[in-house]
Amino acid sequence: MRQPLTILATAVAIASPATAQDSQRPNFWDAFTVEAIGTIALHSVMSWARLLADIRYDQVSVDPVALKVTLTGVRISPYLPDRPDGQCQLRVERLTMNGQPIDVRDTRRMRVALDGVAMEAGCLPFEAAGMLRGLGFPQLTAGRIEADLTYDYPSGGLFARVSADIDRLATVDADVDLDYVSYRMDFARENPEPRGAVDLNSVVVAIQDRGAWDIARKFIMPGQVNPEELAPVVGAGIEAALEDANGPGVAATEKQRAFARSAGAVTASFLTSGRQVVVATAIEKAPLRIDLTQEPAFAALFDALNPTVSHSQPQLASAVSVAELDAAMKAETPPENAFEIGRALITGIGAPKNPNGGIRLLLPLARGGNTEANFLIATEIAAYNPVDAYSHALRAAASGIPGSLALLDRIERDVPFAEVIKLQGSLLGDPEDALYGDLAAMRSAAREFLGGTRRPRSWLAAYYWSSMAAAAGDASSAALRDEIGEIMRLRGDAEGWAKEANSIDNGVLRDWIAKDVPSRLR
């Protein structure tokens, strides 16, 4: 009996795939994968964090390529010296931390998202905890809390967003758009320190009622239960608060009084306008430079920020009307405002994002010479259609559209050499005859063709004019000609470029003789 069983076991083992057999025993090097090391590092960090609080979690997941860490079933009980253990507890069903994917290098992003959050009232100060329990909130719960921070290295700008969906109270969203973050050093001082400043584009804070009003009205005087009755009180109260903030002897400014009146009007229509309040800056000459090392006069800062209060996001004021959007999507030929509508559809600002619809409207404009349309299309399709995107980016960069040159360089890496030469050649005209008699103009033309900003980028044209000028004794042009060859070598296209360069060399010699360039330069 033992022999048939042995034979059967051997047959099964032989029939099993090699991968199935190998997977039964871990490889030594499995401990040194990026994911494994990242997971161990995170466990180590959490162990150190346990010096401050009792921390438990069910599972951790680390994605080192996406720079993403996910913890599920998180329970935190911090050490509070004046509270018994367990009185303060924080629970999070899912905690996600995102960095910037490793293939994105121009920006730095940090996002923290908490799903299914519950915080016991005991985590708050005693008075606040007692008040919260009295209102029927033994704990605060939130479906989602998220904070997102994005810093753009080239521009020095920063965008911050915080949102919280608090159950039975409100949904709060806050956006801060900084055009530039400055931290210059004054090295003339004995102990130089950074002088912090920000260039502010906008701030938007939106609060959507989800039960907070129904709780608040219980504490309002009987004659002011309705928003219409409460409006004058709100307006007067805000104006008085702003005047107090101005300091002694400083009356409320006209913009402060207008803001207070607007707040009262928004309060009056609160229940009939979606139960939402939006406070947003309306800076007249954005960005506004704010020096963080000095405390500005409140009244002057308020007037410069020029805040407004309403029931809707400020972007809705500049949104494409539904009628115009509907007509544009149904039109067989682009309407007069095709660019504005197409831009809104591609960017998702002013209309729902619909890239295909936006490209359909912008493409005729791009073919007609609208280089801003070229740039928008190139930006949208670069990831999945680099060849067509490169064609559009060539035109956008040549006209100096901000950001187009960086886009052109980035797309160029993904386009085959033959396609690049073909697309660059499609934008070239005949050589300018006047250049043959001006050595400096030849050199400038060569650099402009290579750069691609003042003239459409063309490696062949850049090589042609640099070779022509180099033949006349211009050392700078000779260096540029050699630089083009080095660029091709580093691209891995030395063989293809050698054939193109040989053809251009023949053309330079032919034109040098035919146009008698030496005589024209004397």
Tokens for 116, please give them: 């299914």
Confidence of residue 326 (pLDDT cuts 50, 70, 90): very high
Q: State the Cα–Cα distance between residues 339 and 357, nearest whole angstrom.
A: 12
Q: Which domain holds residue 512?
A: 433-521
Judged against a pLDDT cut of 90, whether residue 5 lies above it is answered with: no
Number of domains into which the chain is organized: 4
- Asked, for residue 336, whether it belongs to a domain, the answer is yes
Q: State the Cα–Cα distance between residues 79 and 89, nearest whole angstrom.
A: 10
* Whether residue 496 is found in the same domain as residue 388: no
For the stretch 138-163, pLDDT in tens is 999 999 999 999 999 989 999 999 99
Exposed, middle or buried: residue 371 (CB in 10 Å: 0-12, 13-18, 19+)?
buried
Mean pLDDT of 292-313: 92
Contacts of 409 (CB under 8 A, 6+ apart): none
Judged against a pLDDT cut of 80, whether residue 513 lies above it is answered with: yes
- Asked, for residue 455, whether it belongs to a domain, the answer is yes
| 3-class secondary structure, 293 | coil
Tokens for 196, please give them: 């912090």
Last residue of a domain, one of 168, 202, 233: 168
> What is the DSSP pairing of strand 157-166 with strand 194-209?
unpaired
Any idea which residue has 């048939």 for tokens?
Answer: 4
| 3-class secondary structure, 96 | strand
Mean pLDDT of 308-337: 90
Between the alpha carbon of residue 238 and those of residues 71, 259, 270, the distances in Å are 43, 8, 16
* Whether residue 303 is found in the same domain as residue 331: no
* Whether residue 279 is found in the same domain as residue 340: no
* Whether residue 282 is found in the same domain as residue 312: yes
Judged against a pLDDT cut of 60, whether residue 409 lies above it is answered with: yes
* Whether residue 115 is found in the same domain as residue 104: yes
Last residue of a domain, one of 263, 293, 318: 318
Confidence of residue 223 (pLDDT cuts 50, 70, 90): low
Q: State the Cα–Cα distance between residues 172 and 95, nearest whole angstrom.
A: 19
Handedness of CA 118, 124, 126, 130 (dihedral sign): negative
Strand ranges inside 23-67, DSSP E: 53-56, 59-63
Other C-beta atoms closer than 10 Å to the C-beta of 436 total 21
Tokens for 463, please give them: 């090589």
For the stretch 35-51, pLDDT in tens is 788 788 888 888 888 88
- Asked, for residue 4, whether it belongs to a domain, the answer is no
* Whether residue 120 is found in the same domain as residue 34: yes
* Sequence letter at residue 300: A
Other C-beta atoms closer than 10 Å to the C-beta of 306 total 15
Tokens for 119, please give them: 């915080």
* Whether residue 333 is found in the same domain as residue 278: no
Contacts of 46 (CB under 8 A, 6+ apart): 55, 57
- Asked, for residue 187, whether it belongs to a domain, the answer is no
- pLDDT of the residue at 146: 97
Judged against a pLDDT cut of 60, whether residue 197 lies above it is answered with: yes
Quick one: which of 469, 495, 463 has its CA closest to 482? 463
Kindly report the average pLDDT of the chain as a whole number. Answer: 89
* Whether residue 41 is found in the same domain as residue 163: yes
Handedness of CA 377, 383, 388, 394 (dihedral sign): positive
* Whether residue 224 is found in the same domain as residue 299: yes
For the stretch 410-447, pLDDT in tens is 999 999 999 999 999 999 988 999 999 999 999 999 99
Mean pLDDT of 270-279: 83
Percent of all residues in the chain with a pLDDT value above 90, rounded to a whole number: 66
What's the pTM value of the predicted model, to 2 decimals?
A: 0.80
Handedness of CA 465, 471, 476, 481 (dihedral sign): positive
Within 135-181, residue ranges assigned H as helices are none
Judged against a pLDDT cut of 80, whether residue 130 lies above it is answered with: yes
- Asked, for residue 177, whether it belongs to a domain, the answer is no
- Specify which residues 198 forms β-bridges with: 181, 290
Last residue of a domain, one of 168, 198, 220: 168
- Asked, for residue 207, whether it belongs to a domain, the answer is no
Backbone phi, psi, residue 56, to 5°: -130, 150
Judged against a pLDDT cut of 50, whether residue 19 lies above it is answered with: no
* Whether residue 220 is found in the same domain as residue 332: no
Angle 349-415-463 (CA atoms, 0-180°, nearest 5)? Answer: 115
Confidence of residue 379 (pLDDT cuts 50, 70, 90): very high
* Whether residue 254 is found in the same domain as residue 338: no
- Asked, for residue 188, whether it belongs to a domain, the answer is no
- Asked, for residue 403, whether it belongs to a domain, the answer is yes
* Whether residue 411 is found in the same domain as residue 439: no
